[in-house]
Amino acid sequence: MMNIKTPKKGRVRRELEKRAPKLVENGKKTLILQGIKTSSVLNAVLTQIYHLKRDSAVRYTRKNENIRPFESGGETSLEFFSLKTDCSLFVFGSHSKKRPDNLIMGRTYDHHIYDLVEVGVENFKTTESFTYDRKLAPKVGSKPFFAFIGEGFESVEELKHLKEVLLDLFRGEVVENLNLAGLDRAYICTAVSSNRVYFTHCALRLKKSGKIVPRMELVEVGPSMDLVVRRHRLPNDDLRKEAMKTAREQPKKKVKNVSEDAVQGKIGKIYIPDQQVGDMALPNKAKGVKRERREAKNKKGANEHISKKLKEDSNNAG
């Protein structure tokens, strides 16, 4: 027998609704974590990636001895964390003699591992080591430009895969409306050799060119590193097919107050709030002024005597 469990609080219900599968998904969140041993380079890499994706990332700083994404049984804990934090991208750092400065990037589908790419980090340079105008520093969560250079990204299987993962990892949210004034960063990835990719993060400087399109200028702000591809695992075809499904038609937003009529055509309803005549601000209506005086003032003080008389009358009455 089963029990129906529903959240008791609205906040929890709303949170669950956010996590539910949707036709049009919200942006992917990233989980950044490490294995039992890391190097100082790797620590810096993970932190910098976290700072790049600050708005949509979760950083775990504890050691995880049970996570070995490529081995069977080593993904259980990772999948659990993915479910817990609702992240569908992960970056996992580990350091060993065999694979120094190892970075595993991967994606999950339905909180199960979808694909994996393992890279080694070399020639790492932090943001702090670059000198540039701080005004240029990209804002958190801005939509980046992406440039992939080199034929390796098409001909070599591993690099092709890496390109897709990098794009998914750093592209940020899919937006419909883009503010052109907010463009301030670009990621440049160059396939240097068949297994090495030079990855760098640049700030943008828009310069006037006399035309509509401003002249772009890139200023390297870091982090920059060489990614040496080691192992990778592609999803199997069935899984890929299922994960690539998209909704045929976009969900329509309900249009309120507009209706179609056969004769009149499109009809719109406009709601106007009640006129609050009693509360309307009147000229010369101060709180302290008594009604008689106010009225008298309204009569422009032409016959001041009458008003005084009125006042006396009212006093007598009271």
Partner 1 sequence: MEAPKQFQIDLGNLMAFDCYHLFPSLPSSREELVKECLLKGTELVQAIADTLFNLPSTEDLDGPLVKLPPPTTKLPRSKHLPKPKPPTKWEEFAKKRGIKNRKKDKILYDEQTGTWKRRHGYDRVNDDNDVPIIEAKMTDVPGEDPFAKRQADKKKRVEKQEKNRFQNLREAAKVGALPSNVQLAARALPITGTQAAPKKVSKEELGSVAGMAATATASGGKFDKKLPGEKPARREGKFRKFLPVAEGSGMGSQERLQTQEVLNKLISKNSHEILNINKAVNMYNGKKEKKWRNQQGKSSSTSSKLKPTKKPLKKPFKKGSSNKGSSKKGKST
Judged by beta carbon, residue 134 or residue 245, the one nearer partner 1 is 245
Rounded least distance, CB 21 to partner 1, Å = 4
Rounded least distance, CB 18 to partner 1, Å = 9
Rounded least distance, CB 75 to partner 1, Å = 16
**C-alpha to C-alpha distance for 126 and 122, rounded to whole angstroms:** 12
Helix (H/G/I), strand (E/B), else coil: 30: strand
**C-alpha to C-alpha distance for 58 and 276, rounded to whole angstroms:** 51
Burial 133-168 (b: 16+ CB within 10 A, else e): eeeeebeeeebbeeebebebbeebebbebbbebbee
Judged by beta carbon, residue 164 or residue 292, the one nearer partner 1 is 164
Say how many Å lie between the first and final Cα of the chain, rounded: 80
Evaluate whether 89 touches 31 at the Cβ level (below 8 Å): yes
Rounded least distance, CB 108 to partner 1, Å = 7
Evaluate whether 149 touches 188 at the Cβ level (below 8 Å): yes
Judged by beta carbon, residue 214 or residue 292, the one nearer partner 1 is 214
**C-alpha to C-alpha distance for 78 and 117, rounded to whole angstroms:** 15
Judged by beta carbon, residue 176 or residue 274, the one nearer partner 1 is 176
Judged by beta carbon, residue 89 or residue 296, the one nearer partner 1 is 89
Rounded least distance, CB 51 to partner 1, Å = 21
Rounded least distance, CB 277 to partner 1, Å = 29
Judged by beta carbon, residue 23 or residue 36, the one nearer partner 1 is 23
Nearest to 185 by CA among 139, 151, 228: 139
